[in-house]
Each structure stands twice: as structure tokens, then as C-alpha cells.
Amino acid sequence: MSLPKFKNFNLDVYRPGKSKLGNIKNIIKLSANESALGTSPKVKKILNSKNLKIFKYPDPLSNSLKKEISKKFRCDETKLICGSGSDEVIQMICQLFLNSKDEVIIPRYSFLMYRIYSAIVGAKVVLAEEKNFKVDVNNILKKVSKNTKIVFIANPNNPTGTYLNYKELIQLRKKLRQNILLVIDDAYFEYMKNNDYKSGLDIFRSKENVFVLRTFSKIYGLASLRIGWGYGSKKIISALNRIRPPFNVNAIAQTAAVEALKDTKFIVKSVRHNLREANKLKSFLSTLNISTNPISANFLLLNFDECKLAARSVYKKLQSKGVILRNVEVGYKIKNKLRLTIGSTKENAAFMKAMKSLFN
Ligand SMILES: Cc1ncc(COP(=O)(O)O)c(C=O)c1O
């Protein structure tokens, strides 16, 4: 039987963080930057108690959720769009703006989905070099051509954990041509307590040519429900709504996200946990001559250049002990480094115990 020909895609397929290890039970998964404390108990309670009518289609516009987001983040409800993960919002942005001759600038070690969705719609992906695994504004500006349409920045970036401070972000917007859309992905902003950091939403909420991405997959602990949102000019939102799948966010996700936003205590607890555990892990790692990025989001990028073992070997040996980190050689092409998600206290202790046994 013959099939019509597929389109030709010039892309490396996204490979998510591993979550299974053959027959090993009780694995410690520190490979996907999920919430260390799980989901807010208030969210769990509401999902159990609500008589969710899953036989009905969900609200196509996620209106209750958009109301709650606009209340919490003091932003205009009419400039919001929700997606099945921020992933889907990235995809829709690419579908909306990019033709085959258009160019997209992405920092070399940036989150992979920007280049994947850009390539799927046929745009040319232009990578801007970083400096010490940090986005470099000048290198981005050097890559601008008459065909540039979008610049994507994850801030902080996954997997490097580095970020542009608010002055650098403002500089970037100022120096970029006005008709280039700057997309700032705030996926990890809740964790960021660094003094020189501001979220994309806080800096650019009234800028027409900036689009901001947020997710419920990280600190809110709803990764499996697939829900995120975007914030941009009314013109962009209205155009996105024309191409958005009609019922793109399911009702359970919408209900859970509304409740997750209200549970401020859980967020505060998660941020404190993250800082405390990140500091603990960072000082432990330094005793093994493994350095990391300065603490920022809920993960660390571990550098094995000064360490007696190579990243690849540690990655494999940890797996034999049931501990999974993210191998950033795959996809990101970053050598001799591993990404470690800050887990629960128990998970982090298990990771450190496994590491000690590898190094003894
Ligand atoms: C920077 C960044 N943006 C977006 C996402 C995707 O989030 P979502 O689960 O909302 O699709 C991730 C997930 O790891 C991420 O690291």
C-alpha cells in the first residue's frame, strides 16, 4: 500500500526526561523539572470533591481561569490565552507568525521546543551563541536580518539555569527592530528570588511587541494536566484565538489551575523548599568538584569538568541505582554536564547517597 509523501521536517525530535528504568521500582526521577512538593493539597481536595462533568466540553475560552490569572498577576484578562501546556502556546505562536522564509533567533542552549515548532512550520532557525552558557544580547542582535520575525528567550533558561537580568532584557527589546516579536518564557519565574531578576510579564506587560509565556507545570505541580498561558497584545490574542483548537484546555486542568493560583501558602512553601534544598545540593556537589550555575530555578546544571568522573559515566551509574538525571548531551548537545531537578528532601537525600557511593 502506498501513502502520500510526508512533508520533510528538518528537526531533531524532542526526547523528554526519562521516567522509567526497566524493572527498577521506586525510581527517583530528577529529570523533568517537576514540582518537588507535588500538587497543592487544596487542588487535590477540589478535584476529589467537585462533581466534574467530564461528559461536557470544557469552556473553550478558559474564562474563569483567565479571570483568576488577571486578578493574581494584575494583568488584562483580554490579553490572555490558555493552552494545553505553554508548549501549545509556543506552537500557536509559530503557526501564527512564521512562513517558510522567516527567521527565528534562539540562543544556542535554549529550551528545545522553540526550534522544533519553528522548524515544523518551515521557518529558518538561527542560533545565537551564548557566553558561558548565558544568553548574550549582542550575539542575538548580530543575528538579526530583514527576515527575522521572532526572538525566543527562556528566562531563566532551561537547561542552563542562567538568566538575563531586567536591564539586559530591556536593552534587548530596545535594540531589536520594533517589528520583531520578543517572546519571553517565564516558566520558572516563581522560583526566582535573585535581586536583579524580573519576570517578562512584570517588565513588558504593556509592550505590544513582547509575548510572555507561563506554565502550571512547574511550581503549581500540574504537569500532567497540560496547562499554560500566554500574554500579549489584543491583536495577537485575537489572531491566536482564530487558530486555537476549540477545546484546547480540558475542564479538569482549568479547575485545578484556578485552585492552584489561590494557594499562595503552597507556592511560598515550594519556593522556600527549593532554595533550601538547592543550597544543600550545591554545597554537597562542590565537595565532589562538581560546579553548577548560580542558584536560580528548580534545577541545577552540573559541570563535571573538574570532577574525577565524567558526566556520562555518572549519568549511567546513577541509573543503576534508580536515580534519573537529565542527560543534556541529547538534544541540547551540551557536553560533560547533567541537569538535576531539585526534588523533595527525601529524593535529594537519595541522590546524594547514590552519588557518595559512586565516588567512594
Ligand atoms: C522553559 C520552558 N518553557 C516551557 C516548558 C513547557 O512547559 P509546559 O509543560 O507548560 O508545556 C518547559 C518545560 O520544561 C520549559 O522548561
Return the pLDDT at 144.
98
Fold of 28-40+265-359: Aspartate Aminotransferase, domain 1 (3.90.1150)
Within 8 A by CB and 6+ apart from 159, the residues are: 109, 111, 299, 301, 326, 328, 332, 334, 339
Q: How far is the CA of 223 from the centre of ligand 1 (A)?
A: 9
Return the pLDDT at 19.
77
Longest dimension (CA), the chain: 62
Atom of ligand 1 nearest to the CA of 33: 14
Within 8 A by CB and 6+ apart from 32, the residues are: 16, 17, 19, 223, 326, 341
| Domain segments of the chain as ranges | 28-40+265-359, 42-262
Mutate which of 81, 86, 112, 211 for ligand 1? The one with the most ligand atoms within 8 Å of its CB, which is: 86
42-262 in CATH: which number?
Answer: 3.40.640.10
Return the pLDDT at 94.
98
Atom of ligand 1 nearest to the CA of 216: 10
Q: How far is the CA of 301 from the centre of ligand 1 (A)?
A: 16
Cell reading at 265: 501558602
Whether 175 and 137 have beta carbons less than 8 Å apart is answered as yes
Whether 93 and 230 have beta carbons less than 8 Å apart is answered as yes
83 lines ligand 1 (CB under 6 A): no
Indicate which residue's Cα is closest to atom 12 of ligand 1. Answer: 187
Whether 303 and 291 have beta carbons less than 8 Å apart is answered as yes
293 lines ligand 1 (CB under 6 A): no
What span, in angstroms and rounded, lies between the C-alpha atoms of 38 and 20?
Answer: 18
- State the DSSP string of 158-216: TTT-----HHHHHHHHHHS-TTSEEEEE-TTGGG---TT---HHHHHTT-TTEEEEEES
Whether 217 and 39 have beta carbons less than 8 Å apart is answered as no
What pLDDT tens digit does each residue of the chain (360 aa) get? Answer: 799 998 888 888 888 877 778 888 889 999 999 999 999 999 999 988 777 888 999 999 999 999 999 999 999 999 999 999 999 999 999 999 999 999 999 999 999 999 999 999 999 999 999 999 999 999 999 999 999 999 999 999 999 999 999 999 999 999 999 999 999 999 999 999 999 999 999 999 999 999 999 999 999 999 999 999 999 999 999 999 999 999 999 999 999 999 999 999 999 999 999 999 999 999 999 999 999 999 999 999 999 999 999 999 999 999 999 999 999 999 999 999 999 999 999 999 999 999 999 998
**Could you tell me which of 352, 348, 351, 340 has the C-alpha nearest to residue 300?**
340
Cell reading at 61: 475560552
Return the pLDDT at 12.
84
CB neighbours (10 Å) of residue 145?
10
Element (H, E) at 323: strand 323-324
163 lines ligand 1 (CB under 6 A): no
